[in-house]
Structure 1
Amino acid sequence: MRQAASKQPLSYEALADELGMTNPRVLNYPLGCLDRALVELAANWKDDIPHIQSLVVNKQTGLPGPGFDGFLTDEGYTWNDSIERRSVIEQYRTKIYEYPYWNDVLSELNLSPSPNEIADLIDGAAYGGGQGEGLEHKALKEFVCNNPHVVGLSADHPKGQTERGIPSGDRLDVLFYHKGQICVVEVKPKNASPQEITRGLFQCVKYRAVLEAQATFNNQTNDVTVCLALAGTFPHKLIPLRNSIRVKVSNVLMR
């Protein structure tokens, strides 16, 4: 429901990480149970309930597995190739995002929305900026800039730029650009507090929105991704926030 509200799919790996599961494959069974529960409830209600479990996707493709195709064909969707299949699934996701009765579904299944256990961190992130650029922050920024692979880019990706200004007046820690692909990296040193990491996640969201708006105004088709690069450990309690706002997190080991 959280992912539906934020209009964001979620990879098997990210969900397993949030739930403390070491093997994402074990999610197949509970997701199957969820599917059966929704089918039974839809029959009782005599109304369709979208298959919300299809928001859990393959990390590489960003799509549910081929097992979901049967549900799509049952509902009258057709496609001829992988490009059309992706388009069909994106259409179907709109039904999930716009379905107005998810709270009623939870109530009927005797479930509650996932709790917000980091409201204090989110509120605290609004007050007080960072402590300025220390030596560790500067070294981490330069390391990421010169080593694109540490944030998931290809080993032969061109090096990035540091302190790149954007129209909002912000300066990006690191910006990678190659063939219409933009990757913005916000870096946080090893001693960053959970509150500072929370602020970093929201900074990534801001940068993505600004660059996407700029690209739209300039009639460009740039693909913008954002990443929070940490020298320290990402707090487990922030995983739900990370999953809901589509920010990649990379732990960087400087060598």
Structure 2
Amino acid sequence: MAYDWNRQELARSPWRSEVVPHIPSILIQRAKIGRPITYGELAAELERLHGLEPKARKTLYGPAVGAVGFAIQELGEQWGEKIPPLNLIVVQADTQLPGHGADEVAHYYFNDGGAGMAANREAYIQAAMAAVFDYGPKWDRVAHALGADVLDAAHANPDEGNPIELPAIPTAYRPESATHKALKAWVAAHSEWFEDYGAFEAGVNEHRLSSGDSLDAYFTNGRESLAVEVKASNASDAELMRGIYQVIKYRAVLRAECIALRKPALCDAVLVSTRPLGKAGRALAKRLYVDFVRVPAEAEK
């Protein structure tokens, strides 16, 4: 039986009542491939799949997406579980973050009355988006409950340019160089370079994660935490690209540790080097939402 969208106040206008029932299938398709979707892309998909003419003002899609978010919350309450806020993967093209109107819908997921999001919105949004992507094939059950089509995820990948070749994996272990040791120590002693991620005092080297990995540098203030992967000037382009994948792993583990401890997942990770990323590295970091910080060459001395 189809879901009754009239139960959602945001879905009751004539235009929204036509548009909203088609939105979950598009968002679920994107969630399953781990990619956000802009309001403009959503409008284009609604036209391509259902012949719904796009609105010139893309902000008009915000309440329609919000109706889907509230339906997800309602469904989770019926099932006795917290379904990640699917609406948060609809983002603005310039910021790659959802509009602030999405925050009210997402508060249920964090169960803190919105205090955490008010303190560090971007960290909370990113944690929630990661949960949406991690929900994976379980989204099919949600689609069926909402009466939405299950679209083939294989055809959902947006045009993001050419494939970026994976870096080669080294076949032998190399001992840590003196420049790498010096750079790690410098990074841990210079928290001012990472003030965008939190107000940190000096960090530490070789902090161990629950996964068994050791971080080159680690900062925490008891609330926010930051992992740093360091690549010295003698690192190859392939090594820098491997660093991007390491950052993704460390970020995920830090957030998982916070979730396990019932703490706000105010965690991030960055890649640091004294040399610039190559063209492929820049493209990869942008595609995978990994921050890169270039520090002065004297950091290795």
2:51 pairs with 1:46? yes
2:163 pairs with 1:116? yes
User: Does structure 2 conserve the Cα–Cα contact (< 8 Å) formed by 1:8 and 1:246?
Assistant: no
| 1:49-60 → structure 2 map (5 Å cutoff) | none
Q: Normalization by structure 2: what TM-score?
A: 0.53
Kindly state the Cα deviation for residue 163 of structure 1 after the two structures are TM-superposed.
1.2
Q: Which runs of 5+ in 1 are unaligned?
A: 11-30, 52-66
Pairing partner for 2:286 from 234, 243, 246: 243
Question: Which amino acid letter does the alignment assign opposite residue 174 of structure 2?
Answer: Q
Q: 1:242 to 1:47 in 2, by over 3 A?
A: same
User: Does structure 2 conserve the Cα–Cα contact (< 8 Å) formed by 1:187 and 1:229?
Assistant: yes
Kindly state the Cα deviation for residue 185 of structure 1 after the two structures are TM-superposed.
0.2
Query: Could you tell me how far apart the structure 2 residues matched to 1:129 and 1:87 are?
Result: 51
2:215 pairs with 1:142? no
Query: Could you tell me how far apart the structure 1 residues matched to 2:234 and 2:270 are?
Result: 18
User: Does structure 1 conserve the Cα–Cα contact (< 8 Å) formed by 2:254 and 2:268?
Assistant: no
Q: 1:48 to 1:37 in 2, by over 3 A?
A: closer
Query: Could you tell me how far apart the structure 2 residues matched to 1:186 and 1:92 are?
Result: 23
Q: Normalization by structure 1: what TM-score?
A: 0.62
Q: CA RMSD in A?
A: 4.2
User: Does structure 1 conserve the Cα–Cα contact (< 8 Å) formed by 2:197 and 2:268?
Assistant: no
Pairing partner for 1:164 from 200, 204, 207: 207
Kindly state the Cα deviation for residue 39 of structure 1 after the two structures are TM-superposed.
6.1
Structure number, greater radius of gyration: 2
The aligned counterpart of 2:151 is 100
The aligned counterpart of 2:15 is none
Q: 1:132 to 1:6 in 2, by over 3 A?
A: farther
SS at match of 1:191: coil
2:103 pairs with 1:86? yes
2:34 pairs with 1:6? yes
More RCO (CA 8 Å, sep 6+): 1
Question: Which amino acid letter does the alignment assign opposite residue 136 of structure 1?
Answer: T
| 1:177-216 → structure 2 map (5 Å cutoff) | 177-216=220-259
Query: Could you tell me how far apart the structure 2 residues matched to 1:187 and 1:153 are?
Result: 18
Q: Which runs of 5+ in 2 are unaligned?
A: 1-29, 70-98, 107-124, 140-149
Aligned length: 204
Q: 1:36 to 1:140 in 2, by over 3 A?
A: same
Question: Quick check: which one's strand share is greater?
Answer: 1
Q: 1:8 to 1:253 in 2, by over 3 A?
A: farther
The aligned counterpart of 1:19 is none
Give a deviation string over 1:36-92, Cα, whole Å, max 9, x none: 7556535xx43699x9xxxxxxxxxxxxxxx6422223667599xx86533558799
Give a deviation string over 1:194-231, Cα, whole Å, max 9, x none: 11112211222222222222222222224110000011
2:122 pairs with 1:71? no
Pairing partner for 2:270 from 227, 234, 238: 227
Q: 1:199 to 1:129 in 2, by over 3 A?
A: farther
User: Does structure 2 conserve the Cα–Cα contact (< 8 Å) formed by 1:175 and 1:184?
Assistant: yes
User: Does structure 1 conserve the Cα–Cα contact (< 8 Å) formed by 2:208 and 2:215?
Assistant: yes
Give a deviation string over 1:2-59, Cα, whole Å, max 9, x none: x86333579xxxxxxxxxxxxxxxxxxxx97x687556535xx43699x9xxxxxxxx
